[in-house]
Amino acid sequence: MFARLTRLVGRDLLRDTLAYSAGIAVAGASFGALATAQGLEWWTTMAVSVLVYAGTAQFAALGVAASGGGPAAIIATGLILNLRHIPYGLSVGHLYWDRWWTRILGTHNLLDTTTAFALAEGDDLRRAKIAYWTTGAGNAVAWVVGNAAGILAGSRIGDPAVLGVDAALPALILALVLPALRDRSTLLAAVAGAGIALAASPFLPAGLPVLAALAGLLFAWPRRESEAREGAAP
């Protein structure tokens, strides 16, 4: 069965999904432990993770709640952070927007990494669909299992934040995208976006610096357009 799955998905994609899912499980455990330490019931934590299913927004909402923020502040934080899903949907919505049930599941599966993996397949629609759903399945299982482990451990850890497990997922994602940074235009866009986010962080609310970092893409477009024209020239 594993050999058949490897042939269908592809060894490289399956390897990257398993590695990424390991990081998601660690991040999920961190959220479960932090939520439990803040006094949330186990079923509330699991319900949020399954129904909201947005790690960044969940961590941010938990932080706002822990600092005394009210429902309006929590909702606003989630909405700001998830504005990035608008361009995500425009980029990969065609991969699942064909049946009513795939619209529901596909929209719930619209994440940073599922979008990135799908777009990495280029114009190959079949491979893009496989990447979108494979990474989504790995993410979902790892997130729920990680949450359950974190909930069990949360009551036994005085301050889960001191363990630093919340840094594991960003570190893993950075490792996965490093090969793409060999392309000069991609590297320039990434560095510019990171610089914009860092510069904006002291002045903008949480979530907005990440959206502002999308402006870094402007540094990649001129080079790619000129390359396309050079490739088309006789």
pTM: 0.70
Instruction: For residue range 177-200, list pLDDT tens digits in order.
Output: 666 677 778 788 888 888 988 898
Average pLDDT of every residue of the chain: 79
Between CA 54 and CA 51 the distance in angstroms is 9
Between CA 155 and CA 34 the distance in angstroms is 9
Looking at residue 121, its pLDDT comes to 86
The amino acid occupying position 58 is Q
Between CA 149 and CA 25 the distance in angstroms is 9
Q: Which parts of the chain have pLDDT scores under 50?
A: 224-233
8: which residues sit within 8 A by CB, 6+ positions away?
130
Contact 38, 59 (CB under 8 A): no
Looking at residue 157, its pLDDT comes to 63
Q: Where are the domains of the chain?
A: 2-179, 183-234
Between CA 4 and CA 10 the distance in angstroms is 10
Looking at residue 65, its pLDDT comes to 76
